[in-house]
C-alpha cells in the first residue's frame, strides 16, 4: 500500500548540485525512518543517508558527508536529498526507502 515516488534526478557536471525528492503515500509516513540508497552499475546497493521520524537523528555515508543533506517534511510526507559538490563517483540510481518499501529509483549521472 505504501508508495514512494522519487523525482529530481538527471545529468549534472562535476561540482554541480541536484536535489532529489521522494513523495510517500498510503502509510503512516511520520513514524518511520526514511533513507536514501544508491546503486551504481555492477555494484551492490549502498546506504547514503537516513533521517528518523523527528529529524533529530541523521546519518550519512562517509563518502557523502559534508556534501549531501537529507531532510523531511512530515506534513507533506516528503523526504529530500540535497546533493552538492557532486563527483563522478556519485553516479548511480538513487532509491528512496521507508522500512520495507522502495521507490522506483531515479538516475543521477555526474559527468567529468
Q: Does the pLDDT value for residue 28 go beyond 90? A: no
pLDDT digits (tens, 9 = 90+) for 59-100: 999 999 999 999 999 999 999 999 999 999 999 999 999 999
For residues 32-60, average pLDDT: 97
Distance CA 2, CA 68 (A): 26
> For position 55, what pLDDT does the model report?
95
For residues 44-62, average pLDDT: 97
For residues 31-51, average pLDDT: 97
Amino acid at each position: 500500500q505504501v508508495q514512494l515516488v522519487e523525482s529530481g534526478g538527471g545529468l549534472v557536471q562535476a561540482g554541480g548540485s541536484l536535489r532529489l525528492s521522494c513523495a510517500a503515500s498510503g502509510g503512516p509516513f511520520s513514524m518511520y525512518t526514511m533513507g536514501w540508497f544508491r546503486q551504481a552499475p555492477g555494484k551492490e546497493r549502498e546506504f547514503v543517508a537516513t533521517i528518523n521520524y523527528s529529524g533529530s537523528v541523521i546519518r550519512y555515508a562517509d563518502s557523502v558527508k559534508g556534501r549531501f543533506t537529507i531532510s523531511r517534511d512530515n506534513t507533506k510526507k516528503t523526504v529530500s536529498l540535497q546533493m552538492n559538490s557532486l563527483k563522478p563517483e556519485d553516479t548511480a540510481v538513487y532509491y528512496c526507502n521507508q522500512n520495507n518499501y522502495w521507490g522506483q529509483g531515479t538516475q543521477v549521472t555526474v559527468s567529468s
